Structure 1
Amino acid sequence: MIAWLIALPALVGAFAVTHRLLRRRGKAVLRSVLAADAVLFAGALALLVVGLSGGSAHADAATAAQSSGSGSAALIGAAIAVAGASIGAAVAVAYTGAAALAALSERPELFGRAMVIVGLAEGIAIYGLVVAILLIGKS
């Protein structure tokens, strides 16, 4: 499961690059895209084989893996909390920052109010970081 969570961003990035390359037309680009897709498919197949053949060699290793399962779940939850909060803060700052610049171009005396609004939007990322610290502290 962890291998898939690690490989998922790489796969998404590779498919995004593939999509951009397909927008450009040409046989050479199509061949390179097909070759990249074949490599990605082979990598995904290798991850699937490794994930399905995960047997433990010793009983001690099996109990250690079971006890560390909650710790790894907390770390994954912390990563998701930070990533989601950062993406949300980025979207919020993008919209509020653009609106603040538009307002400042007309009335420069609104600088203090505009920066407070942008700062509040950035606070979303701090909340995600706090949640991640709490989750890591419980593991």
Structure 2
Amino acid sequence: MLNMIELLVPMVLIVLISLPLIKVFKGNLNAQSAKTRLITHIVMFFVVVIGSVLFSVGDFSVLAAEETAAAGESITGTIAQGLGFISAALATGMSALGAGIAVAAAAPAAIGAFSENEKNFGKSLIFVALGEGVAIYGLLISILIINKL
């Protein structure tokens, strides 16, 4: 179970990383100020990533609330199982990304076709559903991969 510090530290880091971009997204800045804020955002992101790597590599137990009873036991697995889980995650993630791109292109066109002629609703809905099918197929493939492990 996570304690409050383990929950709050990542939330605070996410807020600190995204804080410089708030005015950029609102559009109230000139180009130089937006560029400075973007560089600050990128630098803070890499500082957090490097700090996380250093914190995980070092044997710091500052945030550890208690040791578990089964500290000597560890989860064991083969490299093939690890690669299988990575491939399942990539299948789901990349198919969802592709589906998002497909729907982002098809949905506005479907809305435009529907607004011009109401008879085009069924035809245009098929193209939007085909884009979503890509994500479902990727999820199906990842379930099949995990079942083989």
Whether TM exceeds 0.5 here: the answer is yes
What secondary structure sits across from 1:79 in the alignment?
helix
Residue 79 of structure 1 is matched in structure 2 by 89
Deviations 1:18-52 (Å, cap 9, x if unpaired)? 77269564xxx89x9677764543222223447xx
What is the alpha-carbon distance in structure 2 between the residues aligned to residue 117 and residue 96 of structure 1? 6
What is the alpha-carbon distance in structure 2 between the residues aligned to residue 126 and residue 35 of structure 1? 36
Unaligned stretches of 5+ in structure 1? 1-9, 51-57
The 8 Å contact of residues 17 and 44 in structure 2, kept in 1 or not, is answered as no
Identity of aligned residues (%): 28
Residue 113 of structure 1 is matched in structure 2 by 123
Give the TM-score normalised by structure 2: 0.59
Matched, 1:68 2:78: yes
Give the TM-score normalised by structure 1: 0.62
Tell me how far 1:73 sits from its aligned partner.
1.7
Unaligned stretches of 5+ in structure 2? 1-9, 60-71
Matched, 1:96 2:106: yes
What is the alpha-carbon distance in structure 2 between the residues aligned to residue 35 and residue 77 of structure 1? 30
Deviations 1:53-73 (Å, cap 9, x if unpaired)? xxxxx9x97xx74x4332222
Deviations 1:69-98 (Å, cap 9, x if unpaired)? 322221111111101001110110111011
Give the structure with the larger helix fraction. Answer: 1
Greater relative contact order: 1 or 2 (C-alpha under 8 angstroms, separation 6 or more)?
1
Matched, 1:128 2:126: no
| CA RMSD, Structure 1 to Structure 2 (Å) | 3.8
What secondary structure sits across from 2:112 in the alignment?
helix
> What is the one-letter code of the residue matched to 1:72?
G
